[in-house]
Amino acid sequence: MSKLVTIYGGSGFVGRYIARRMAQQDWRVRVAVRHPHEAGFVRTYGVVGQVEPVFCNVRDDDSVNSVVGGSDAVVNCVGILAERRRQTFEAVQSQGAARIARACANEGVPRLVQLSAIGADENSPSEYARTKAAGEQAVLDAFPDAMILRPSIVFGPEDDFFNRFAGMTRLSPVLPVVGAKTRFQPVYADDVARAAVMGVLGQAGPGIYELGGPDVQTFRELMVEMLQLIQKRRMVVNVPFGVASLMGRGFDGITKATGGLVTGPLTRDQVANLRVDNVPSGQYPGLKELGIDATAMEAVLPEYLWRFRPGGQYAAIKDSAKNFRRTRS
């Protein structure tokens, strides 16, 4: 019988790439998620019965324990960018990670891969970053041989970064950014998945890996590049951290007052996180040491941001027609 990997959060942005690659390795894939009825698409990654979504809530011991049994490897991709109701940073990224690691240790699972984030720091002003660090430590305490992946901001067709800002250009002539000088080293989702698969297969040793793409750019430079790609002219305006923090406080208040039913585009914690560069420190190995050639943004972004161009998928045809008319006139 083929081996089994359980992927907590396996239907999420990065998790689905890992699930697909593990299916290609002929492993059975158990995708543990809170809403398995919304994760049916993962079944298409393999043959009938090879990839199955199952219910799991990482905030509950019994739920986590119920899906780890029989696993030859486990990957934890569960994480949140903003708190909502009981889905808090502490509950999901710290306690949830600890719960999964303990379950793996108790069950005797051979390998565990934990997806964290660059910037994980117990002393960070951002609770997101602090709980990522706490989750890492809890994992290592329970499962010392775990592989921990710290990617920079991740891009791909399902991302909530380039898609979000490209979508904003449909509504406003101004593109506001918080932390215009903050540096990022965007990494392709499938490159992160390749690193995780190496950990599952035992092709990479335990420890911390910082994953970044081939290019380091500021927030503003990323937005300018995105605007050129979608063929739109927008004014990129830097929002000072003080102003952004006040805005985040207001949006946080709305979220709290509505019980999470209404969420804003920005939180105070995200503002705090944007004060720090999001690039590998150089203290840990990365994609190069894993033998993975980092995928450049220009090789992927056009594949999914074309829909934000004025002419959508027909933008190139329209440009060609305009040039033809000019040459004929």
Q: Check pLDDT > 60 for residue 324.
A: no
Q: Are strands 187-188 and 154-155 parallel, antiparallel or unpaired?
A: parallel
CB burial of residue 158 (10 Å; 0-12, 13-18, 19+):
middle
Look at residue 134 and tell me if it is in a domain: yes
pLDDT the model gives residue 263: 79
pLDDT the model gives residue 322: 54
Look at residue 219 and tell me if it is in a domain: no
Q: What is the CATH number of the domain that holds 65?
A: 3.40.50.720
pLDDT the model gives residue 8: 98
Look at 39-48, 174-183, 263-272 and tell me which has the smallest mean pLDDT. Answer: 263-272
Look at residue 55 and tell me if it is in a domain: yes
Q: What is the pLDDT of residues 112-159, one digit of tens each?
A: 999 999 999 999 999 999 999 999 999 999 999 999 999 999 999 999
Query: pTM of the full predicted structure?
Result: 0.92
pLDDT the model gives residue 261: 78
3-state DSSP helix/strand/coil percent for the chain, to nearest 5? Answer: 45, 15, 40
Contacts of 179 (CB under 8 A, 6+ apart): 219, 238, 241, 271, 274, 275
pLDDT the model gives residue 265: 84
Per-residue pLDDT band at 255 (split at 50, 70, 90): confident
**E strands, the chain, in order:** 4-8, 28-33, 51-55, 73-76, 111-115, 147-151, 154-155, 174-178, 183-184, 187-188, 207-211, 217-218, 235-239
Q: How far is CA 97 from CA 47, 87, 185, in A?
A: 30, 13, 25
* Residues forming beta bridges with residue 115, ordered by sequence position: 149
Amino acid 212 reads: G
Look at residue 125 and tell me if it is in a domain: yes
Look at residue 76 and tell me if it is in a domain: yes
Residue 118's domain comprises 4-155+186-214+277-294
Look at residue 35 and tell me if it is in a domain: yes
What is the C-alpha separation between 164 and 159, in angstroms, rounded?
8
190 against 320, higher pLDDT: 190
CB burial of residue 99 (10 Å; 0-12, 13-18, 19+):
buried
Look at residue 91 and tell me if it is in a domain: yes
Q: What is the pLDDT of residues 166-185, one digit of tens each?
A: 999 999 999 999 999 999 99
Please compute, for residue 157, the number of CA atoms within 13 A of its CA located in the half-sphere on the CB side. 7
Q: Check pLDDT > 80 for residue 313.
A: no
End-to-end CA, the chain: 69
Amino acid 78 reads: V
Look at residue 36 and tell me if it is in a domain: yes
Phi then psi for 30, rounded to 5 degrees? -105, 115
**Count of C-beta atoms within a 10 Å radius of residue 136:** 23
User: Of the candidates 3, 144, 146, which has an alpha carbon nearest to the alpha carbon of residue 70?
Assistant: 3
Percent share of the chain, pLDDT over 90? 86
pLDDT the model gives residue 264: 80
Task: Name residue, tokens 């600890």.
Answer: 98
3-state secondary structure 286-323: CHHHHCCCCCCHHHCHHHHHHHHCCCHHHHHHHHHHHH
Q: For the chain, how many structural domains are there in total?
A: 1
